[in-house]
Chains A and B, each alone.
Chain A
Amino acid sequence: MKFIAEIDVMPLKEILDPQGKAVKLGLRNLGITQVEDVRIGRHITLELEAADENTARQLVETACKKLLANLIMEGYTYKITSLA
């Protein structure tokens, strides 16, 4: 079966995100002063082949833990959908 994993990797809350800070400033300059916080991460999509959703989930977990996210500085969330 084919699956699509949509993964979001975000900097941990306690870590300063200079990119987010700079973009917040940019938004302010644009006149959008209502924005209180900006955090910038990475969106990754994986197309993968697996016997079932559980197997796909395990593969994605391993990929996130070992490569896609650095758990010292980032956290990850994901959604898996099967391509019928």
Chain B
Amino acid sequence: MKFGVVVFPGSNCDEDIIYTLQHTLGQEVVKLWHKDTDLQGAECIVLPGGFSYGDYLRSGAIARFSPIMEKVVAHANQGGYVIGICNGFQILTEAGLLPGALLRNNGQKFICRNVYLKPQSTSTLLTKGLDPDKTYKIPIAHAEGRYYADQETVKELHANDQILFKYSSETGIIDEASNPNGSLENIAGISNARKNVFGMMPHPERAAEEALGNTDGRTILEGLVAQITA
């Protein structure tokens, strides 16, 4: 599988995800500059974390008008895979590829710490291979991660099995105490209805090496690679 990692001015997790995909998971990776207009044959596009365009106006709002995004949207509309992590998730919602929006954390602060995720959807590629009874320890690092959508949209997310992860306790309890940022229903990641576009606030690429003391993120990304290439 050939992955294309988009680099926007202000992206800062691009090298981490490239390293993980290339060295840890042995995949082919190309870097795509935001001014590029060619996906170079990449089959799965990754929008990495960071602060694209300085988060000006709203996180992800300006990035979606980058020349490369026109191609990314077309790729997604043709059924191609796209995954957005953190700022990448914000860009995907701003671009209308994923429903809802990511608002400022209810506690106002930037949160950088490990959280636990409980896989939800059993029909999407990103979570299909995961153990639904387990929790995965993954770091978050964001100020605007409070997932919000209107009631109608949330109903649809449930009906189509589009919720990827919910924030939970280590033992898997999903409640207010395990919700780091005030996200609606503890939602940490979603897919589109067609299930080829994924977005999540937590950073699996930051938990993909023994040297980092945590490989839960590798398990998630390995699962995705295995499902996509299956």
Contacts of A67 in B (CB 8 A): 57, 61, 65
CB distance from A74 to the nearest CB of B (A): 8
> Is the C-beta of B94 less than 8 angstroms from some C-beta in chain A?
yes
Contact yes or no, B150 A70, CB < 8 A: no
Contact yes or no, A18 B148, CB < 8 A: no
Question: What 0/1 pattern do residues 147 to 159 of B give for CB contact below 8 A with A?
Answer: 0111000000000
Query: Which of B58, B65, B94, B107 is A18 in contact with, Cβ under 8 Å?
Result: B107
Query: Which of A19, A21, A22, A70 is B61 in contact with, Cβ under 8 Å?
Result: A70
Contact yes or no, B104 A19, CB < 8 A: yes
> Is the C-beta of A1 less than 8 angstroms from some C-beta in chain B?
no
Query: Which of A11, A19, A68, A72 is B108 in contact with, Cβ under 8 Å?
Result: A19
Contact yes or no, A72 B106, CB < 8 A: no
Tell me the bound Cα distance from A73 to B148 in angstroms: 8
CB distance from B168 to the nearest CB of A (A): 22
Question: What 0/1 pattern do residues 83 to 100 of B give for CB contact below 8 A with A?
Answer: 000000000011000001
Tell me the bound Cα distance from A21 to B148 in angstroms: 18
Count of chain B residues with Cβ under 8 Å from any Cβ of A? 18
Query: Which of A18, A68, A70, A73 is B106 in contact with, Cβ under 8 Å?
Result: A18
Question: What 0/1 pattern do residues 53 to 67 of B give for CB contact below 8 A with A?
Answer: 000011001000100
* Chain B facing A: main interface SS: loop
Tell me the bound Cα distance from A73 to B65 in angstroms: 19
> Is the C-beta of B105 less than 8 angstroms from some C-beta in chain A?
yes
Q: Knowing A18-B106, A19-B108, A22-B108 are in contact, say whether A72-B57 is a contact too (CB < 8 A).
A: no
> Is the C-beta of B193 less than 8 angstroms from some C-beta in chain A?
no
Tell me the bound Cα distance from A2 to B105 in angstroms: 39
With CB as the reference atom, state the residue of chain B lying closest to A17: B104
> Is the C-beta of A15 less than 8 angstroms from some C-beta in chain B?
yes
Contact yes or no, A16 B106, CB < 8 A: yes
Besides A67-B65, A72-B150, 16 new A-B residue pairs in contact (Cβ under 8 A), listed by A number = A11-B103, A15-B103, A16-B103, A16-B182, A18-B105, A18-B106, A18-B108, A19-B104, A19-B108, A21-B108, A22-B108, A68-B57, A70-B94, A72-B100, A72-B148, A72-B149
